[in-house]
C-alpha cells in the first residue's frame, strides 16, 4: 500500500528563488488555483512569476479526487434558500462554464489526461426529500437532470442524475499546459508586506506591482478577516484496484461517501470533518469496508487524506484581498469543488487585473455579504477563541509517561505544556502545544500521525514541519531519549 495519492508522480523541477527581484505580477501558491491563474494571465500577455513553497501541485491539488462536475449536491438548495434564483443560476452556470473551459484546453493542446465523460449521481438512502428538493432547484436554474431510483452502485437509494460530467487526472492535465511564466519552487513566502507589496522568502525578497495570494488558505492575517470567514475540512481517500465503479457518485450528506473510477480502479472518499476536530472514528477502515460491500474484496493500493477550505455559503472567493488593499488579490474557498471553481476563478482574476467585466466577479467577491451566516460566524468564532483559550489555559495532568507508543498527546513536560509523540521505539518527539499561526492548541490526529490545528487547519508532522497552511512557520522540535 502506498501512502500518497494516485496522481502524485515526479514533475519537472523548477529553481529556487535565490536573490531579490522586482516583478509585475506575483502569484503565491502552485496548486490548481495559482497555476491556472498564472496561466491565464500569461496567456493574456502579462508577465507573471509564481512562487511555490514546496513542489508544484504538492498541496490539496495533488490529493484531490478531481471530479469535474456541476453536480455538486445540496449546495444549490442551500444557495437558493440563501440568495434566491439569480445567484443559484449564476453559480450553476459558472460550473458548466468551468467544465467547458477544461474541455477547450484539453482539445486545444491535445492533452492526454484521461479526460472522460461520465454520469454524476448525488444519492441518498433515507432522505429522498433532499434529492427531490435539489431536483426542483436545479430544474428552475435550467439544469438538465432527473431523479432516478436504484442507481447501479447504490441500489437502496434514489439519486439526482446529471449526464455530461467529467473526470481526469489533474496532474497530467496541469503538467501538460504550456508554461509561459516564471516559476520558483521550494520558495516559501514567509511574509507579505501588503502596503509596500514586498514578499519575503528565505532566498530573497520580491517587490511586486500586483500580488495574487493562492496559498489555499489566505496567508495575510492583518486584512480581509479570512480567519473568521473560512474553515478547513479534512477528507480521507483510498484507491482500490480492478474493475469497480463506472460513474461518479456522491452521498448528499457532508461526511458521506464519494466514488469515482480512475485508470487503474476506483477511488472512494469520505469521513469529512473540520480539521482538528478529531474523533475516534477509523475513517480509512470505514472506506475499506464500503469498498468490500460495493465491489467485494479488493486490493487497497493507496490511501491519503487532504483538507479543503470551506466558505459559509458554498461559493469560492476570488477578487480583491480586502477593500483597503490596492493590487492584492486572493483566490480560496472551493468547498471541495476546486476543479471547476479554480478554472472559473482564474478567469475572474484575470479579467479583474485587466480591468474587464466578468459575469461571476460579483458572486465570488471575497467582500460579498454572506446572507444568513450569523450562526456559522458565531460557531466559527467560538471554535477559534476556544482553541486559543485551550492553548493558554487548559490544565493537563498527563505527562510524557502517559503517551502510548505510536501516539501523540498534549502533556505537561519539563514545566510546560507540550505536544509529545512517542514513536514505536519509545523515543519522544516534542514540539510546542500551540500552532504558530494564531496560537490555537494543536490536536493529535492518529489516522494521519499529524498535529492538526482545530481553528484554521494548519497541520504539522511529528517533527513540527508545517505540512498545510495557513501557518508559514514550523514548530520548534526536540527529540528526547525515552529515559528523560
Ligand atoms: C479529499 C479531497 C477531494 C477532493 N475532490 C474534489 C473533486 O472531486 N472535484 C473537485 O472539483 N474538487 C475536489 N476537491 C477540492 C480541490 O482538490 C481543491 O479545492 C483544490 O485542489 C485546491 O487548490 P488550491 O490551488 O487552492 O490549493 P493547493 O493545491 O493546496 O495549492 C496551494 C499551494 O500553495 C502553496 N503555498 C502555501 N503557502 C505558501 C507560501 N507561504 N508560499 C508559497 N507557497 C505556498 C502550497 O504548497 C500549495 O502547493 C477535493 C478536495 C479534497 C480535500
Instruction: Give the mean pLDDT per block of 10 residues along the chain (484 residues).
Output: 92 95 98 98 98 96 98 95 97 98 98 97 95 97 96 93 97 97 97 96 96 96 92 95 92 93 95 81 90 89 96 97 96 98 98 98 96 82 80 81 93 92 94 92 91 93 92 90 67
pLDDT tens digits, one per residue of 436-447: 998 999 999 988
Tell the residue number behind the cell numbers 525515552, with chain if given. Answer: 482
Query: What is 21-64+172-228+314-372's CATH topology?
Result: FAD/NAD(P)-binding domain (3.50.50)
**235 CB less than 6 Å from ligand 1?**
yes
Q: From residue 306, how far is each of 5, 252, 371, 449 by CA, in Å?
A: 10, 20, 29, 13
pLDDT of the residue at 211: 98
336 lines ligand 1 (CB under 6 A): yes
Is domain 391-480 in CATH 1.10.10.10, yes or no? Answer: no
Question: What would the grid cell of residue 249 be?
Answer: 457518485
* pLDDT for the residue 483: 62
- Give span(s): CATH 3.50.50.60, the chain: 21-64+172-228+314-372
State whether the beta carbon of 53 lies less than 6 angstroms from ligand 1.
yes
Alpha carbons 175 and 296: distance in angstroms, whole number? 35
Q: How far apart are CA 155 and CA 209, in angstroms?
A: 56
Q: Closest Cα to atom 52, ligand 1: which residue?
A: 64
DSSP state of 228: H
**Orientation angle between helical segments 85-108 and 338-353, nearest 10 degrees:** 90
> Which ligand 1 atom lies nearest to the CA of residue 34?
25
Beta-strand pair 204-213/21-28: parallel
Rounded distance, CA 30 to CA 37, Å?
10
Indicate whether residue 464 lines ligand 1 (CB < 6 A).
Answer: no
The rounded distance, in Å, linking the Cα atoms of 213 and 320 is 10
Asked whether 216 lines ligand 1 (CB < 6 A), one says yes
Q: Which of 26, 38, 61, 460 to mutate to test the pocket of ligand 1 (most atoms within 8 A of CB)?
A: 61
pLDDT in tens, 343-371: 999 999 999 999 999 999 999 999 999 88
What's the pLDDT at 279? 64
Structure confidence at residue 374 (pLDDT)? 81
Could you tell me if the CB of 61 is within 6 A of ligand 1?
A: yes
Grid coordinates of 458? 494548519
Nearest ligand 1 atom, CA 58: 49
Residues of the chain with CATH 2.102.10.10: 391-480
317 alpha carbon to ligand 1 midpoint, in Å? 14
For strands 265-274 and 231-241, give the pairing: antiparallel
**CA 396, 400, 401 angle in degrees (round to 5)?**
110
Query: Distance of CA 129 to CAs 137, 145, 150, 482, Å?
Result: 12, 16, 15, 57
SS3 294: helix
pLDDT value, residue 280: 66
* Whether residue 431 has a cis bond before it, omega within 30° of 0: no
Q: Is the CB of 333 under 6 A from ligand 1?
A: no
> What cell numbers appear for 243 in the block?
474493475
The three cell numbers locating residue 194 = 501588503
- Dihedrals φ, ψ of 465, to 5°? -70, 135
Q: For residue 412, how far is its CA from the centre of ligand 1 (angstroms)?
A: 35
Quote the pLDDT of residue 63: 97
> Which atom of ligand 1 has the smallest separation from the CA of 339?
11
Amino acid at each position: 500500500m502506498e501512502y500518497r495519492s494516485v496522481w502524485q508522480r515526479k514533475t519537472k523541477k523548477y529553481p529556487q528563488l535565490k536573490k531579490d527581484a522586482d516583478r509585475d505580477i506575483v502569484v503565491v501558491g502552485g496548486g490548481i488555483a495559482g497555476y491556472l491563474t498564472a496561466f491565464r494571465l500569461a496567456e493574456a500577455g502579462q508577465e507573471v512569476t509564481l512562487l511555490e513553497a514546496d513542489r508544484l501541485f504538492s498541496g490539496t491539488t495533488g490529493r484531490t479526487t478531481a471530479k469535474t462536475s456541476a453536480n455538486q449536491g445540496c449546495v444549490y438548495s442551500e444557495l437558493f434558500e440563501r440568495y434566491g434564483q439569480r445567484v443559484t443560476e449564476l453559480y450553476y452556470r459558472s460550473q458548466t462554464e468551468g467544465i467547458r473551459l477544461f474541455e477547450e484546453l484539453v482539445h486545444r493542446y491535445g492533452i492526454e489526461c484521461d479526460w472522460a465523460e461520465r454520469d454524476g449521481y448525488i444519492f441518498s438512502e433515507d432522505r429522498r426529500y433532499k434529492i427531490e428538493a435539489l431536483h426542483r432547484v436545479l430544474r428552475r436554474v435550467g439544469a438538465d437532470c432527473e431523479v432516478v431510483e436504484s442507481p447501479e452502485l447504490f441500489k437502496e437509494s434514489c439519486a439526482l442524475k446529471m449526464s455530461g460530467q467529467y473526470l481526469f487526472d489533474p496532474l497530467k492535465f496541469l503538467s501538460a499546459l504550456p508554461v509561459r511564466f516564471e516559476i520558483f519552487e521550494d520558495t516559501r513566502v514567509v511574509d507579505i508586506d501588503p502596503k509596500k507589496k514586498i514578499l519575503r522568502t528565505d532566498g530573497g525578497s520580491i517587490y511586486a506591482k500586483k500580488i495574487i495570494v493562492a496559498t489555499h488558505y489566505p496567508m495575510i492575517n492583518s486584512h480581509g478577516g479570512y480567519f473568521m470567514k473560512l474553515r478547513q475540512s479534512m477528507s480521507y481517500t483510498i484507491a482500490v484496484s480492478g474493475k469497480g465503479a463506472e460513474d461518479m457518485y456522491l452521498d448528499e450528506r457532508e461526511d458521506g461517501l464519494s466514488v469515482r473510477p480512475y485508470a487503474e480502479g476506483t477511488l472512494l472518499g469520505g469521513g469529512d470533518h473540520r480539521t482538528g476536530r478529531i474523533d475516534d472514528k477509523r475513517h480509512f477502515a470505514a472506506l475499506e469496508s464500503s469498498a468490500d460491500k460495493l465491489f467485494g474484496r479488493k486490493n487497497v493500493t493507496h490511501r491519503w487524506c487532504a483538507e479543503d477550505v470551506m466558505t459559509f455559503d458554498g461559493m469560492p472567493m476570488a477578487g480583491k484581498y480586502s477593500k483597503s488593499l490596492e493590487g492584492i488579490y486572493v483566490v480560496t474557498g472551493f468547498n471541495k469543488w476546486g476543479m471547476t471553481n479554480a478554472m472559473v476563478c482564474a478567469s475572474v482574476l484575470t479579467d479583474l487585473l485587466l480591468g474587464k467585466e466578468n459575469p461571476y466577479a460579483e458572486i465570488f467577491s471575497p467582500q460579498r455579504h454572506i446572507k444568513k451566516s450569523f450562526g456559522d460566524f458565531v460557531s466559527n468564532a467560538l471554535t477559534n477563541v476556544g482553541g486559543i483559550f485551550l492553548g493558554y489555559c487548559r490544565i493537563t495532568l498527563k505527562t510524557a509517561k502517559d503517551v502510548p507508543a505510536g501516539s501523540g498527546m498534549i502533556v505537561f513536560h519539563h514545566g510546560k505544556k507540550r505536544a509529545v509523540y512517542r514513536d514505536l521505539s519509545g523515543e519522544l518527539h516534542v514540539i510546542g502545544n500551540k500552532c504558530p499561526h494564531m496560537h490555537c492548541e494543536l490536536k493529535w490526529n492518529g489516522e494521519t500521525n499529524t498535529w492538526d490545528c482545530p481553528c484554521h487547519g494548519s497541520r504539522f508532522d511529528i517533527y513540527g514541519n508545517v505540512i498545510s497552511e495557513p501557518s508559514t512557520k514550523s514548530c520548534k522540535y526536540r527529540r528526547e531519549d525515552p529515559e528523560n
